[in-house]
Amino acid sequence: MSRTRSTGRTALLAALGLVTATGATATVLGTATAGAATPGCKVDYQITSQWNTGFGANVTVTNTGDPVAAWTLEWTYAGNQQVTQGWNATLTQSGTAVTAKNVSYNGTLATGGSTSFGFNGSYSGTNAVPATFKLNGVTCNTATPPTTPPTTPPTTPPTTPPAGTKADNPYAGAKVYVNPEWSAKAAAEPGGTKVSNQPTGVWLDRIAAINGSSTSMGLRAHLDEALKQKGSGELVVQLVIYDLPGRDCSALASNGELGPTEIGRYKTEYIDPIAAILADSKYAGLRIVTTVEIDSLPNLVTNVSGRPTATANCDVMKANGNYITGVGYALKKFGAIPNVYNYVDAGHHGWLGWDDNFGPSAELFKQAATAEGSTLANVHGFIVNTANYSALKEDHFAIGDSVNGVSVRQSKWVDWNRYTDELSYAQAMRDKLVSIGFDSHLGMLIDTSRNGWGGTARPTGPGATTSVDTYVDGGRYDRRIHLGNWCNQSGAGLGERPQAAPAAGIDAYVWMKPPGESDGASKEIPNNEGKGFDRMCDPTYTGNARNGNSMSGALPDAPLSGQWFSAQFQELLKNAHPAL
């Protein structure tokens, strides 16, 4: 499975409407007037998960009126729903009436600006979506109908793009495929039914995974199941394309089956068969998201000669060009299929967030996107933090903070990085990519499957201002020993539930890495999948240059990467944030 690594500067020198298969959603539209702003708002209230007595919800508020410096959203439940826990807003409830107020960092809403918050709740009986919302006292369901009714009704719903074109955000207005194999494993765990209906990525990490076996579903089996889940609406299927020659050149746990020079096999035995299946007209009604070659391209920036973290294997892959060739070929083949949406891996902030990694990585992504006859148009977006643990948003410290005149960037944890969390990194990387020629509608995905960092160790405020290190370490949600630790991390928790359009420039939060699948074995285990033993998965390992010679922070007794790891799943449930 996917591995990511940190390469620091000093220490290392270096849209609306997504629902799960059993969820519910409603969109209440308010006034949207071109030209001068008038009072109005749009509210998207999504039930993102639901079980016998509880549910999770996400609310996106869009201001279509004049800019506001603070906001209050109100609604009333028809049943006995009770809000039990919220995030990104201050929620109070009196009887059936709920009030949500902005917190310090999301109160300002420009005309057309949006923000999101979420909460968990309890209920019995029915769990109906509220009918009416008010933003700062203005009712949000007062859209004015046209004075002259259209002579013919629209032929397609607003969320469905015209034939032959792609949706700007494939997750908007769509359910997302729930992998029944992962779902069954999750549901079999104590407490697992709370999340077993969540959508996760399907990893095609070897040639044999395309056809499957007597004990595992192949690609066609997944797509056929997706058609059943789709019904009459839209449905996204998430695939991880992950079998490059010389795969994951700076790690061992996630090495692959193809040797460094086997680019021919990659094209003809791996990419071509996948593309042929995806192009089958039977699946034309699915929105197929491909996340292309996790971890490959960033390695060519940070782990090659000239960097202290260089490896001979990464030098080989940079010299032979097969990462660039392979990614370009995959993008060209998949990009030619009308209902396929390519998202390229862009590492994470703890890998590429440093000044000397950020820009060169963007340029390398462009090089790969235009290799093998591909064009930038074949890239719908990028994905960050896949299979990693970087916090989505650090609330208790910012990159511009200083303590006693010392910048947060000088703290041991931040280590001169330009970013503190994945959301700020994803948005900045998007802006950089657009500036060098990628489409202005480029969308980002953030893998939030294991970056919640909840539980009893989650800080509730900033650290002490004794020093910049006590300030950062005391307040950071990400509780890893070092930002470079990546394997089966102790203390990690499930992160934000999958949802569409949660923030500006972000197409969706996704669970691309299925929670409970191991990052790598804690000790050497012979296998026929080409997967080696990486000491970063050994809890007794005292580290290397990539993690500041720190302990690995890995859980013990882990199986091979991709295999089910019950202890890790239980750890993720226990430390989930938002809590289950």
H/E run at residue 314: helix 312-320
- What is the spatial distance between Cα 320 and Cα 324, in angstroms, rounded to a whole number? 9
Catalytic positions, written as ranges = 295, 519
Q: At a CB cut-off of 8 Å and minimum separation 6, what does 112 contact?
A: 62, 63, 64
Residue showing tokens 């995905």: 445
- What is the spatial distance between Cα 495 and Cα 497, in angstroms, rounded to a whole number? 6
Strands 506-510 and 443-447: parallel
Please state at what angle helix 322-335 crosses helix 355-369, rounded to 10 degrees: 50
Tell me if residue 175 falls in helix, strand or coil: strand
- Tell me if 19 sits within 8 A of 25, measured CB to CB: yes
Residue 401 neighbours by CB distance under 10 Å: 20
Runs of H (alpha helix) within 238-280: 263-265, 272-278
Q: Cα dihedral angle (95, 17, 61, 439), rounded to 10 degrees? A: 170
- Is the previous residue joined to 578 through a cis bond, with omega within 30 degrees of 0? yes
- Look at the alpha carbons of 420, 425, 427, 428 in this order and tell me if their dihedral is positive or negative: positive
- What is the spatial distance between Cα 287 and Cα 315, in angstroms, rounded to a whole number? 37
Give the Å distances, CA to CA, from 98 to 24, 81, 121, 156, 230. 19, 10, 12, 35, 33
- Report which DSSP code applies to 555: P
Tell me if residue 134 falls in helix, strand or coil: strand
- What is the spatial distance between Cα 575 and Cα 343, in angstroms, rounded to a whole number? 29
Residues in the chain: 580
- What is the spatial distance between Cα 87 and Cα 460, in angstroms, rounded to a whole number? 12
* Angle value at C-alpha 485, between 315 and 542, nearest 5 degrees: 95
- Tell me if 352 sits within 8 A of 294, measured CB to CB: no
Nearest to 201 by CA among 547, 521, 527, 446: 446
Burial class (CB in 10 A: 0-12, 13-18, 19+), 373: exposed
- Tell me if 77 sits within 8 A of 30, measured CB to CB: no
